[in-house]
Amino acid sequence: MSRFWSPVVHGLTPYVPGEQPKLNNLVKLNTNENPYGPSLRVLEALRAEAGDSLRLYPDPNSDRLKQAIAEQHGLDTAHVFVGNGSDEVLAHTFQALLKHDLPILFPDISYSFYPVYCGLYGIDYTEIALDEQFAINVDDYMRPNGGIIFPNPNAPTGRALPLADIERLLQTNSESVVVIDEAYVDFGAESAATLVKKYPQLLVVHTLSKSRALAGLRVGFALGQPELIEALVRVKDSFNSYPLDRFAQAGAVAAMQDRAWFDNTCRKVIASREKLVAELESLGFEVLPSAANFVFARHPQHDGADLTAKLRERSIIVRHFRKPARIAPFMRITIGTDVQCAALVDALKDILKTA
């Protein structure tokens, strides 16, 4: 059947999402989902939306959601773009803002969807190596480019870049768009959203999948000055003018408005992360500094792939990346509940003892 494919399809290497295994009594720590259910206000909003109005198209502009997001960040709705998960927002960003003559720049160890988008849209790119401590050095990005994108905190490392470094990059790089992908920012990093009004080339991308526990609804958004937002809207309306359904909009509005639930949940995840880091280090693991809802850890005497396989035998799923080679010794471990984290630590103790 491949003879019917468009030429671009033959050259694509698609993104591989985290596994969603169907196992009994599973401790699932591989896809950075929130271990806690969404706000009760979200569930109430979803129930209220289930009615006759489902026969009608949703609001194509998601005005109520844009207003809720704008209020959270002290911006106008003209600064907000929403999409079907942050992956769709990023896809539109690559097409609308990052396709130029010069290559775009992003880290060599980062979100593996970035090179996929480049392949899909025919965008040249250059990967910038993380330093020996797996950190981003913004000085390495101060070169001619068609745009810059990186997560903060970075994934899969979890390391965060101080806001001062991001601003220094923006001050130097004024002629192309800088995209800060903040999927995990709510777990301990500084958001660049506070810089949106100051820098016209800045776009900040968020998701409701992580800190607001709505991975199943698929809602993401971008913050930027109106010129950038208009470019995203033009691409969106040329692709899918109704990206967010009625349930997604209603649930997302409720999630943005329930600040108490959000603050409490983030605090719990951060506390569990710090406890897990201490326990892993006591077992001899090296754990990179994390400001995300996951940790990146390796043991000097044990292969990362082997540990991952042995945990799976005990129905505990973490994520392992074989490439690039620099990170093959590591496991990326999502922060679960304290009970889930305790099960992980007990399993690792048993594995290390019997190895």
343's CB contacts (< 8 A; 6+ apart) are 27, 316
Q: Containing H/E element for 207? A: strand 202-207
Where in the chain is CATH 3.90.1150.10? Answer: 19-37+260-354
Where in the chain is CATH 3.40.640.10? Answer: 40-257
Q: Return d(Cα 130, Cα 137) in angstroms, integer.
A: 7
Q: What residue type is assigned to position 331 of the chain?
A: M
Q: Return d(Cα 349, Cα 87) in angstroms, integer.
A: 37
For range 332-350, the mean pLDDT: 97
pLDDT of residue 355 exceeding 90:
no
- Nearest Cα to 179, choosing from 255, 239, 111? 111
Distances in whole angstroms, Cα of residue 12 to Cα of each of 9, 18, 30, 121: 5, 19, 25, 10
For all residues of the chain together, what is the average pLDDT? Answer: 95
Does CATH place domain 19-37+260-354 in 1.10.357.10? no
3-state secondary structure at position 93: helix
Residue 120's pLDDT is what?
93
Peptide bond into 324 cis (omega under 30): yes
pLDDT in tens, 82-118: 999 999 999 999 999 999 999 999 999 999 999 999 9
Q: Return d(Cα 82, Cα 98) in angstroms, integer.
A: 18
State both tokens at 194.
């506070």
- CA angle 286–263–229, rounded 5-degree value: 95
pTM score, whole prediction: 0.95
Residue 101's pLDDT is what?
96
pLDDT in tens, 120-138: 999 999 999 999 999 999 9
Q: Return d(Cα 23, Cα 21) in angstroms, integer.
A: 6
pLDDT of residue 66 exceeding 80:
yes
CA terminus-to-terminus distance, the chain: 47
pLDDT in tens, 239-257: 999 999 999 999 999 999 9
The CATH number, out of the four listed (2.60.40.740, 1.10.760.10, 3.40.640.10, 3.30.2320.50), of the domain defined by the range 40-257:
3.40.640.10
For range 272-277, the mean pLDDT: 98
Of the pLDDT bands very low, low, confident and very high (cuts 50, 70, 90), residue 267 is very high
Q: How many CB atoms lie within 10 A of CB 160?
A: 23
pLDDT of residue 17 exceeding 80:
no
Of the pLDDT bands very low, low, confident and very high (cuts 50, 70, 90), residue 282 is very high
pLDDT in tens, 136-167: 999 999 999 999 999 999 999 999 999 999 99
Q: Return d(Cα 143, Cα 220) in angstroms, integer.
A: 30
State both tokens at 54.
């489902």
